[in-house]
Amino acid sequence: MQKPINMPKYGLQQDEGTVIEWRKKEGDHIEKGEIILEVETDKAVFEYEAPESGYLRHILAQDGAVVPVLSPIAVLTDEPDEPVDLAIFSKTSSSAPTIESPTEESIPEPTQTTQTNTSSNRIKRSPAARHRARELNIDLSTITGTGPGGRIVKADIENASPAPMSAGSSSLSKMRQAIGKTMAFSKSTIPHFYVGIEIDLTDAETWRKNLAQTDNIKLSVTDLFIKATADALTHYPALNSSLDGTTHMIIHDTVNIGLAVGTDDGLVVPVIPNAQKTFLADLADIRTQRVNDARAGKLHGDAAATFTISNLGMYGVTTFTAIVNPPEAAILAIGAAIPRVVPFGDPLTIAVRQIADITLSADHRLVDGIVAAQFLQTLKKSLEDVKNLDRWL
């Protein structure tokens, strides 16, 4: 049976993707979940995993091709010698914009040994760096990258530019345009409301540091919030839902936590899949790897986020509100845990405790204030009781 492999859609506002590099060639057998190519969107480079097992019979979109989302880019068959009718796939995509062949701008840049991945001849650079280099007519092969692994970032291009930057004008990168488009869409179409709570992280912080010393298990505060959030969402599924159109609510059967991560190019959201079933130590490893990959310009396409967390506490920010990332129902904003003099204990005394302000932004079409408040109460109880933390190890 012949089946198409389609250009994936990684974001609500994504219209097209660029085939960066095929990791497999025609005739190869591929397994479901195996990385078969790299795809670039306005936000990042994704490693695309095979949706099914089979034989890669025909590649319809070669390296450098710009393809509308959900349009066929290759043909997969069950058998290596199975006949393929390519006309079927041309009809499937006949209503979509034509696939663009690689142009001078989309052809991979010349190789430079110190900057290339061992499995690729492409220069390692961020999408924003590539676009800025084109604007300034700068040859990427002449630039030394300062990003992770020698990756060229936007700042490297601007530092190498012989012409001074305009004091009053600068072109937005495609990533910044995509972020702006998505956030403007969210604020103009989603009826946001906000609910906040204070969480005492004193005992959790002590527990976390002791765990690192006694068992060499290193966790971040973000890891604790990811796990506690995923656990709480299993009790309040409306917050782990999305809106399909204007009348249909989709309740997701897994909790995939998106983590807002700032990069030199803009904001990206790596995803920790099945966080509700993942033990804390494993979750920390996954979070570390995916955040590092995101900062290097690559995101994993194995799961879409169902709920997002944004943590600015490490920058000393005490409280803020975040914008819901459509089509999700809510986003959690985490502020810094700072020492405060508060009533504590039974009988009550005065103590200095590490208190963090947490704010939930939610879509009022999918959830009401009482559900948001109950969710935050559950989150607070989980993080303030170290017995829960032990249970998640």
Which positions are catalytic? 364
- CA dist 308 and 170 (Å) reads 30
What's 123's DSSP letter? Answer: B
- CA dist 324 and 282 (Å) reads 27
Tokens 């994504």 correspond to what residue? 14
Chain centroid to CA 133: how far? 25
Please count the other Cβ atoms lying within 10 Å of the Cβ belonging to residue 28. 14
Does residue 347 have a cis bond before it (omega within 30 degrees)?
yes
- CA dist 122 and 109 (Å) reads 6
- CA dist 4 and 18 (Å) reads 17
Does residue 162 have a cis bond before it (omega within 30 degrees)?
no
Helix axes 369-384, 202-214, angle to 10 degrees: 40
Contacts of 224 (CB under 8 A, 6+ apart): 204, 208, 280, 383, 389
- Measured CA distances, 16 to 64, 72, 88, 185 (Å): 12, 12, 21, 18
DSSP E strands: which ranges in the chain?
A: 2-6, 16-22, 29-30, 35-40, 45-49, 54-59, 66-68, 72-77, 192-200, 241-244, 248-251, 257-259, 261-262, 267-268, 271-272, 298-300, 307-311, 330-344, 349-363
Q: Are 23 and 35 in contact (CB under 8 A)?
A: yes
Tokens 């692994």 correspond to what residue? 149
Q: Output phi, psi for 353, to 5 deg.
A: -130, 155
Residue 302: both structure tokens together: 């194995």
Chain centroid to CA 18: how far? 18
